Every structure is written in structure tokens, then in C-alpha cells.
Structure 1
Amino acid sequence: MIEGKLVRLRALRADDVDAQVRWRNDPEVVHWATGGDPLFGPVTREAVAHFHEVRLRDDPRAQQTFTVEDLADGRAIGMVDYRDLDSFAGRATVGITIGERDRWGGGYGSEALRLLLDHLFGALRLHRVELDTWSGNERALRAFRAVGFVEEGRRRESVRVGDEWYDGVEFGLLREEWTSRG
């Protein structure tokens, strides 16, 4: 368990399934998290339960998903994860979704991401962390930059959202950049 001022990151539990089903079936959450990718919803309770089983069975050093829990009321409000861990290169990819809309814009996601980065650069001693989003997701772009990520590239018009095309935006953060932020 990793705790901040607003949220804690904790292991997945069986009682998280219902919240995740709700988030994955909320069109607005899916829109901002994935650009509306139809592969991400709607989902069944059985599919999410299977996801939990796979995550709990897989090697936790290769990927890890944490539930983001609001410290004020103990409610699960989202998820953060790392995956594609390459220990030799000291690199991983991260992702974040705050599924409870009433927690959007309140700093919960930024703190959750900071806590995950502290863990990855500290406990796991990674050299580099990566993530990506789409250019229409302005809230995510601002949050990633505010946490310290640097935009490293764009894949022009590589993400389709509805009938429009957006750039895929790639970010990176190095340990020395993270630790120098003080």
C-alpha cells in the first residue's frame, strides 16, 4: 500500500470489480481514457473478474495494477498500472484512469500518478517511465506535463475518436528529472 494526502494505491481486491465494471461501461470515462476505443467497453462483470484473475496470477514484477482509493471515504475511484517492465533497460509504461467523475479535476489522478512514479523510480529503481494519450485529451496532457513528463513525440492522426482524427502523444520521464523536482 502506498499512501499520499488524497489517495492510497492498494492491491486489487475482489470488491473492486463492480466499480471497474461501472467505469468501463461509462461512455464518458471510456471516451477520455481510450479515445472511445470500442475494445474497452462495454464489458461484463465476468470479463472484469477475469482481468483481476489474470493480473493476480501474472508475475507482479512484469506488470502491476493498483486501485486508487480516496483516503477521505475509502472509496475506489480509479486505477493506475505499470506494464511492459524491462528491468535490463530500466523502463516501464504507466497508465491511469480515474473512473469516478466527481473526482475529476481535484488532483486525485495527479497524486496517484506521483505515488506510482515514486514507487517506480524509488523501489524499482527504474531509469525511465513512459505513457501516451491522444491530443484531444487536454486534461491528461496538462496533468502529465504538471507531474513532470516531457512530450517526446507525436504520431500524427493515429487515434480516431468518433469521426475525427487526433495525434497520439508520447511522453517520457527520466529518474534524474523526477528526483530533481524535489
Structure 2
Amino acid sequence: MIEGKLVRLRALGSGDLEHHVRWRNDPEVVYWATGGDPLFGPVSREAVAGFHEARLRDNPRSEATFTVEDLADGRAIGMADYRDLDPFTGQATVGITIGERDRWGGGYGSEALELLAGHLFGACRLRRIELETWSGNERAMRAFRRIGFVEEGRRRAAVRVGEQWYDGVLFGMLLEEWTARTGRT
């Protein structure tokens, strides 16, 4: 368990299934998380249950999903994850979704992402983490920059949202940038 001032990241539990099914089938959550990519939703309860069972059974070191809980009331409000952790290169890809819309814009996702970054740079001894969003998700890009992520590149017109194309935007953060910003390693 990793705890901040607003949220805690805890291991994925069997009780999280219903929340994840609801978030993965909320069109507005899917829109902001993926640009509305139909591969990400709607999804069946069985598909999410299969994902949960695999994560609970096979929690390999190269990936993990955490439930984001609001410390004020213990409510599950989202999920954060890392994947493709490569101990040789010291890199991983991270992701964050706040599924409860009433928690959007309150700093919950930013703190969850900061806690995850601190864990990966500290406990996992990584050198670099990255994440990606689409160029229409300006709120996410502002949050990533505020936390210390740097825009590293764009895949032009790579994300289709309705009939419009947006860039896929890659952000990264290095251990030395994290250390300079937070004073922690």
C-alpha cells in the first residue's frame, strides 16, 4: 500500500471488479482515457473478471495494477498501473484513470501518478518511466507536465476520436528529474 495526502494505491482486490466494469463502460471515462477507442469499451463483466483473475493470480514483477482509493472515505475512485517493466533498461510504462467523475479535477489522479512514480523510482529502482495520451486530452497533459513529465514526441494523427484525428503524445520522466523535483530517490 502506498499512501499520500488524498489517495492511497492498494493492490487490486476481488471487490474492485464492479468498479472497473462500470468505469470501462462509462463513455466519458473511456473517451478521456483512450480518445473513445472502441477496443477499450464497452467491455463485458466476464472480460474484466478475466483480467482481474489473471492479475490476482499472476502478479509478475513486470506489471501491476493498483486501485486508487480516496483517503477521506475509502472509496475506490480509479486505477493506476505499470507495465513493460524492464529491469535491464530500468524503464516502465505507467497509466492512470480516475473513473469517478466527481473526483475529476481535484488532484486525485495527479497524486496517484506521483505516488506510482515515487514507488517505481524508489522501490523498483527504475531510471525512466513513460506514458502516453492523445493531444485532445489537454487536462491530462497539463497534469503530466505539472508532475514533472516532459513531452518527448508525437505520433502524428495516430488517435481517431469520432471523425477527427489527434496526435498520440509521449511523455517521459527520468530518475534525475524526479530527484531534482522531489529531493527523493
Q: Same fold (TM over 0.5)?
A: yes
Amino acid at match of 1:161: V
Task: For residues 132-179 of structure 1, give each alpha carbon's deviation from its aligned partner in whole angstroms, at most 9, with x where no partner exists.
Answer: 000000110000000000000011111101100000100110000001
Question: What does 1:107-126 correspond to in 2, within 5 Å?
Answer: 107-126=107-126
SS of alignment partner, residue 181 of structure 1: helix
SS of alignment partner, residue 136 of structure 1: coil
SS of alignment partner, residue 97 of structure 2: strand
Question: What does 1:48-127 correspond to in 2, within 5 Å?
Answer: 48-127=48-127
Amino acid at match of 2:61: R
Task: For residues 80-125 of structure 1, give each alpha carbon's deviation from its aligned partner in whole angstroms, at most 9, with x where no partner exists.
Answer: 0000011000000000000000000000000000000010000000
Kindly, what percent of the aligned residue pairs are identical? 79
Aligned match of 2:28 = 28
Q: TM-score, normalised by structure 2?
A: 0.97
| Aligned structure 1 segments of 4 or more residues deviating by more than 6 angstroms | none
Aligned residues: 182
Structure 1: where are the runs of 5+ without partners?
A: none
Amino acid at match of 1:13: G
Aligned match of 1:179 = 179
Aligned match of 2:5 = 5
Amino acid at match of 1:15: G
Structure 2: where are the runs of 5+ without partners?
A: none
d(CA) in 1 for partners of 2:67, 2:29: 16
Amino acid at match of 2:151: E
Cα distance, 1:59 vs. partner?
4.1
Cα distance, 1:57 vs. partner?
2.5
